[in-house]
Amino acid sequence: MGIGEGEPHPAGSGSSSVEVVDVLRRGELVVLGRIPSASNATLVCDVVLDDVELRCVYKPVRGEVPLWDFPDGTLAGREVASYLISDALGWGVIPETVLRDGPVGFGMVQRWVDTPDNTDRPHPSAPSELPDGRVDLVDLCPPGAVPVGYRAVLRAFDSIGEPVVLVHADDPRLQRMAVLDVILNNADRKGGHVLEGLDGGVYGIDHGICLHSEDKLRTVLWGWAGETVPAHLVADLADLARRLESPDDDLRSDLAEHITGDEIDALALRTLVIAETTAMPLPPGHRPIPWPPF
Ligand SMILES: Nc1ncnc2c1ncn2[C@@H]1O[C@H](COP(=O)(O)OP(=O)(O)O)[C@@H](O)[C@H]1O
Ligand SMILES: [Mg+2]
């Protein structure tokens, strides 16, 4: 899309979250296409407000596949609640996300994260070749070849029976995401839900099955299991726990639009436990890793 006089221009990386949220909420949604690999209806759109244009994803509630173990609310609402928590922590792990009406009804709208894999090509969903030898933030590698600066999470066999190791980078941006996942009780942190943005940020996407009141944490980011959470993250969690316990804080009422009171209480408890113990949990015995892991 051209950037010319009188035409909308992409919101620059200098835009604040508040500005981005405003565009996502009030802009006109123009559907560009559907992501074929997505399990729910996931539409790539441009959202245009006055002279600003933003790429985004739009997941209409109508396109959600019902899940027996998440009978309350909507997946879209859980995505927005997860964003509100990431934002309240000041961590910016989840791209700006809102709930709004759109061409196919109410749904979640989330800022698109430009990555080396999804830019400069006509269809954002088409896979592109990675440069040889590059190891992603979450990846598979042969046993004995775990790169320096990576943590091994699981030994497995690939589709042709070769042994492989699931690894992730020992990276503070990823560690913060791993802590957020514990708080969110994220049941689906796959490698494909970790995006390394061209802006240098590491972003998490697809938080539709988070925030259940029962333990459902399923993640590939187990590399810090049982370790001490860095002090600056613990301080943020202590602040969040205080806000969630305060009946006057807007965060509780904002969350209550998307998740149940029991789920907010369980979130407050998970936050308090990490703030007080300062320890990452150990993987449960049953299905701790989403499968397939990408
Ligand atoms: N905010 C985003 N920025 C960039 N790509 C995204 C974003 N959200 C989704 N995608 C792309 O769309 C794919 C499907 O989205 P996802 O949220 O995983 O949907 P589903 O709920 O159907 O699994 C992702 O794997 C990713 O490639
Ligand atoms: Mg997904």
Strands (E), the chain: 9-10, 28-34, 43-49, 52-60, 97-100, 107-111, 138-141, 150-157, 163-169, 194-196, 202-204
Q: Could you give the angle at the alpha carbon of 29 between the alpha carbons of 97 and 85, nearest 5°?
A: 5
**Which ligand has its closest atom nearest to the C-alpha of 55?**
1
Mapping DSSP onto H, E and C, the string for 127-139 reads CCCCCCCCCCCEE
Residues 232-245 pLDDT 10s: 999 999 999 999 99
Residues within 5 Å of ion ligand 2, judged at the Cβ atom: 206
Percent of the chain with pLDDT over 70: 90
Percent of the chain with pLDDT over 90: 82
Phi, psi of 180 (to 5 degrees): -60, -40
Where in the chain are the domains?
A: 8-112, 138-169
Q: What is the 32 CA–ligand 2 centroid distance (Å)?
A: 19
- Of the CA atoms within 13 Å of residue 199, those in its CB half-sphere come to 13
224/178 Cα distance (integer angstroms): 8
Q: What is the 27 CA–ligand 1 centroid distance (Å)?
A: 21
Q: What CATH code is assigned to 8-112?
A: 3.30.200
**Which ligand has its closest atom nearest to the C-alpha of 204?**
1
Residue with tokens 């990408």: 294
Q: Does residue 97 line the site of ligand 1, with CB under 6 A?
A: no
Q: What is the 294 CA–ligand 2 centroid distance (Å)?
A: 9
**Which ligand has its closest atom nearest to the C-alpha of 195?**
1
Q: Using the atom order of ligand 1, give the atom closest to the CA of residue 114.
A: 4
Q: What is the 80 CA–ligand 1 centroid distance (Å)?
A: 14
The per-residue pLDDT string of the chain (294 residues; one tens digit each, 9 = 90 and over) reads: 333 445 666 665 567 999 999 999 999 999 999 999 888 899 999 999 999 999 999 999 999 999 999 999 999 999 999 999 999 999 999 999 999 999 999 999 999 999 998 876 444 444 444 445 789 999 999 999 999 999 999 998 888 999 999 999 999 999 999 999 999 999 999 999 999 999 999 999 999 999 999 999 999 999 999 999 999 999 999 999 999 999 899 999 999 999 999 999 999 999 999 999 999 999 988 889 998 899
